[in-house]
Structure 1
Amino acid sequence: MKLLELLNLFPDIKIISGSYTPDENFDFVRTDSRKLEPNDLFCLPDSSGDKGVEYAKFSSSRYILIGSKLKIPKLENKIVLKTDLDPESLAGPIASAILGDPSSKLKVIGVTGTNGKTSLTHILAYLGESQGKSCGIIGTTGVKFKGILSDTGYTTPDPSSLQSILKEMYDSGVEYVFMEASSHGLKLGRTNGVHFKVGVFSNLTQDHLDFHPNMEDYLNSKALLFSSVALNPETFGVIDSDAPGGKDFKSAVESTSPGLKIFSLGRSSGEFEIHSEAFSLEKTSYQIKLSDEWGGDTYISTNLLGGFNVRNTALAFVTALGLGWEKKSLLSALESIPQIPGRFQIYYSKDKSRMAVVDYAHTPDALENILRSIRESKPKELITLFGCGGDRDKTKRPKMAKIAGELSDKVILTSDNPRTEDPESILDDIQEGFSAGYSPMLREVDRAKAISFGISHLKEGGCLLVAGKGHEDYQIIGKDKRHFDDGEEIRKAFDSVGL
């Protein structure tokens, strides 16, 4: 892109130092200094603070865009540009302009919420494929399309990488993109420049209070997704208004995006009501009230287990109907959804006498949901194994212990990703949440040993819930990232005890 074209497209950007020619071009835009090439435009985030000057000085890039908060001297052989906005918030729109605005040529469905984002994107993509649509996924488990699976390291990638992914998807023939929109990604502007066709909200419970100052900021950050949904007759939002935080979230969206069409799931809304739920270890079923236009009361059966998957499949079903997909084939597809990595992922002993469940539940609400869902399937014994991540929100640790102690027959405490915290100190914080006199079945920081112990002590007809890491195939101890897969350890443990 020519430098003068950038100034025309973004009038707020001004050149404040450095000499340039009228035909001068830069190649791309970046917010991550590790990915910079010499001819890139470096959008220096306001969050870089005082370190920003050093980043700018020693950056390999010739072009530096700074915000008004940063005071920077003239830099030799560099062109410095300035904006009154946070430069990070402009990286997405600039990258989109360079790449030909790829999201405008795709149907991008954004999914936000504390829990359920990954499940929803995978369910929606499977439903889309069942309709003959070419679909892509961007989220916690990586980027997936056309048989390609890659890891970005983030739920919502940085703005430049995100626009590049969307361009690659469009070039490969993808039509629908189902994308997790995290509160971090939305608040930091990573999704700026993305044209969303649909916004979907699952729920809002405590998480990420190490990043957000309070729950109000957390809610408002997630509501930014719906502000990004362009207002036209084909766009809409889907909100589970009966979910935790649902009513407040709906009010926020109605206030900030008053012209947006909203489909609301829940008895409180009187629009799409769920009733007559039934659960077993083989399937989940329920009735959903639809408008006469969509066929009225409809029976849904799915192989995905648990009460939270009632909400997930119902949200996906309403979204799919809103997209105009054929109802009968959707109902058929819901009966055989492939297992979602690390989400109520079941592992049986060879004789099917015992089972283990791997789930990403790493918040109080998610842990409660998965435990109640397993209880609905009536195991003869339920052992819960979990830990909490280090260098993250400490306030949820005792809350998760309280939930595990109340809803499990026995509890095993172990490490999640302790990072730079002392693993034993994390377990101390967790253990404070147990009721007086309660002791866990085992306290063991070695997660592999803890899983082996849990499997070896599991009674016939029992279930071991291994919570917290889900799809992750690594463990972070100190600053070392090591291979670790809960599913692999469960299989080893079953084999070692001959089950």
Structure 2
Amino acid sequence: MKLSELLDLFPNIKIISGSYTPDEKINFIRTDSRKLEPNDLFCLPDSSGDKGAEYAKASSSKYILIGSKLKIPKLENKIVFKTDLDPESLAGPIASVILGNPSSKMKVIGVTGTNGKTSLTHILAYLGEAQGKSCGLIGTTGVKFKGSLTDTGYTTPDPSSLQSILKEMYDSGVEYVFIEASSHGLKLGRTNGVQFKAGVFSNLTQDHLDFHPDMEDYLKSKALLFSSVASNSETFGVIDSDAPGGKDFKTVVEASSPDLKIFSLGRSSGEFEIHSEAFSLEKTSYLIRLSDAWGGDTNITTNLLGGFNVRNTALAFVTALGLGWEKKSLLTALESIPQIPGRFQIYYSKDRSRMAVVDYAHTPDALENILRSIRKSKPKELVALFGCGGDRDKTKRPKMAKIAQELADKVILTSDNPRTEDPERILDDIQAGLSPGYSPMLREADRAKAILYGISQLKEGGCLLVAGKGHEDYQIIGRDKSHFDDGEEVQKAFNSLA
């Protein structure tokens, strides 16, 4: 992109220092200095603060973009651009233009919510592939398309990387992209420049209050996804209005995007309703009420287990219908969805007399949902093993303990990425939520030892829930990140008792 084109397309960017010619070219834009090339535009977010000037000076790039909040000295041999916006909010749109607006050439669907994003995107991608569509995934478990899987380290990658991924997908022939739109990613502008065909909302419960000042800010950040969906005859939004936070979310979206077509799931304020739910350890079934235009009442059966997967599959089904996919093949595909990494993954002892469930549940709402779902399968004993992440929202710790005590027969407290916090202090915070006089079955900071103990003490017909890490294959203690996989530890524990 020529400098003259950049200044024409983004009039809120001005050059404030350095010698240049209008025909000079910028190759790309980056927010990560480690990925910079000499002719890239280095975008310094307002969040870089006092260190921004150091980053600019040390940068290998000739071109620097700063915001009005950042003060930097005159830099030799560099051209400095300035905007009155947060520069990070422009990184995505600039990257998109440089790469030829890849998202406009595919159908991109964003999924947001506290819980369910990963499950929903995986279900949608599978349903699409079953329809013969080429689909790509971007989210917590990585970037997946055309048989490849790459870990980015983020639910929603930085704006430059996101646009590069979209370009790769388009070049490889991907038609549909399903993106987990985190509240961090939305608020920080990582999805800016992405043209969404649809937005999907699952639920809103307490999480990330270490980043958001309050739940109102958390909700409004999530709602930014729907503001990114252009209102036309082909675009739409899907909202679970009966889910926690659903009604408030719908109110915000209807006010901010009054022309956007919304499909609402819920008995109280939705056009799609769920009835007659039935659960077992083999399948889940329910009836969904649809309009006559979409074939009326429809029975759905899925191999995915649990009440939360009723909501997930129903939202995916409605979204798929909104995309114009064929209904009969959708119903067939829902019966055999591949296991979603770290979501209600079941492990058995060799004689299948005992089971364990590994799940990513790391919020109060998610823990409650998974415990209630396991309860519906009627285990003879339910033991809940969990911890809480360090350097994160502390207020949810006692809440999760209270939920575990109420819904499980026994509770094991352990570590879950303590990071730089003292693991025992985290366990103190969790244990404070237990009733006076109630003692956990075990309190053990070593997660591997806790899992082994839980399996060893499990009664015949019992189930151990190992919650919090799900698909993660690491544990962060201090600043050290080492391999750790709940599923592997559960399997080793079962094998050691055989």
- TM-score bracket, normalised by the shorter chain, equals over 0.9
Equivalent residue for 2:253? 253
1:100-499 aligned within 5 A = 100-498=100-498
AA of the residue aligned to 2:84: D
Distance 1:270 1:22, change over 3 A: closer
Q: Deviations over 1:142-175 (max 9, x none)?
A: 0000000000000000000000000000000000
| TM-score, scaled to structure 2 | 0.99
C-alpha distance in 2 between matches for 1:7 and 1:73? 23
In the TM superposition, residue 202 of structure 1 has moved relative to its aligned partner by 0.1
C-alpha distance in 1 between matches for 2:292 and 2:204? 30
Tell me the secondary structure at the aligned position of residue 61 of structure 1.
coil
Q: Deviations over 1:378-401 (max 9, x none)?
A: 111000100000000000000000
| TM-score, scaled to structure 1 | 0.99
C-alpha distance in 2 between matches for 1:292 and 1:126? 26
In the TM superposition, residue 270 of structure 1 has moved relative to its aligned partner by 4.1
C-alpha distance in 1 between matches for 2:427 and 2:37? 44
RMSD: 0.6
Equivalent residue for 2:18? 18
AA of the residue aligned to 1:67: G
Equivalent residue for 1:52? 52
C-alpha distance in 1 between matches for 2:435 and 2:476? 30
Tell me the secondary structure at the aligned position of residue 465 of structure 2.
strand
Tell me the secondary structure at the aligned position of residue 179 of structure 1.
strand
- Contact kept, 8 Å, 2:145 with 2:169, in 1: the verdict is yes
C-alpha distance in 2 between matches for 1:22 and 1:279? 65
C-alpha distance in 1 between matches for 2:120 and 2:221? 19
AA of the residue aligned to 1:422: D
C-alpha distance in 2 between matches for 1:257 and 1:115? 23
Between Structure 1 and Structure 2, how many residues are aligned? 498
In the TM superposition, residue 25 of structure 1 has moved relative to its aligned partner by 1.1
In the TM superposition, residue 39 of structure 1 has moved relative to its aligned partner by 1.6
**Which deviates the most, 258-267 or 20-29?**
20-29
Distance 1:338 1:17, change over 3 A: same
Tell me the secondary structure at the aligned position of residue 481 of structure 1.
strand
AA of the residue aligned to 2:241: S
Equivalent residue for 1:29? 29
- Contact kept, 8 Å, 2:197 with 2:235, in 1: the verdict is yes
C-alpha distance in 2 between matches for 1:77 and 1:22? 16
AA of the residue aligned to 1:235: T
AA of the residue aligned to 1:386: F
- Contact kept, 8 Å, 2:263 with 2:270, in 1: the verdict is no
Equivalent residue for 1:78? 78
C-alpha distance in 1 between matches for 2:23 and 2:274? 61
In the TM superposition, residue 21 of structure 1 has moved relative to its aligned partner by 2.0
C-alpha distance in 2 between matches for 1:104 and 1:16? 32
In the TM superposition, residue 34 of structure 1 has moved relative to its aligned partner by 2.0
Q: Deviations over 1:329-382 (max 9, x none)?
A: 100100100110000111111211111100000000000000000001111100
Equivalent residue for 1:94? 94
AA of the residue aligned to 1:49: G
AA of the residue aligned to 2:35: K
Tell me the secondary structure at the aligned position of residue 49 of structure 1.
helix
C-alpha distance in 2 between matches for 1:497 and 1:39? 60
AA of the residue aligned to 2:109: I
AA of the residue aligned to 1:375: R
C-alpha distance in 2 between matches for 1:266 and 1:350? 41
> Following TM superposition, where does structure 1 have runs of at least 4 consecutive aligned residues deviating by more than 2 angstroms?
none
Q: Deviations over 1:69-98 (max 9, x none)?
A: 112221011100000110000000000000
Tell me the secondary structure at the aligned position of residue 110 of structure 1.
strand
C-alpha distance in 2 between matches for 1:298 and 1:23? 60
C-alpha distance in 2 between matches for 1:91 and 1:173? 25
**Which deviates the most, 59-68 or 149-158?**
59-68
Are residues 1:62 and 2:62 paired?
yes
C-alpha distance in 2 between matches for 1:109 and 1:26? 30
- Contact kept, 8 Å, 2:241 with 2:270, in 1: the verdict is no
In the TM superposition, residue 436 of structure 1 has moved relative to its aligned partner by 0.9
In the TM superposition, residue 6 of structure 1 has moved relative to its aligned partner by 0.6
Tell me the secondary structure at the aligned position of residue 391 of structure 1.
coil
Q: Deviations over 1:160-192 (max 9, x none)?
A: 000000000000000000110000000000000
AA of the residue aligned to 2:271: E
What percentage of aligned pairs have identical amino acids? Answer: 89
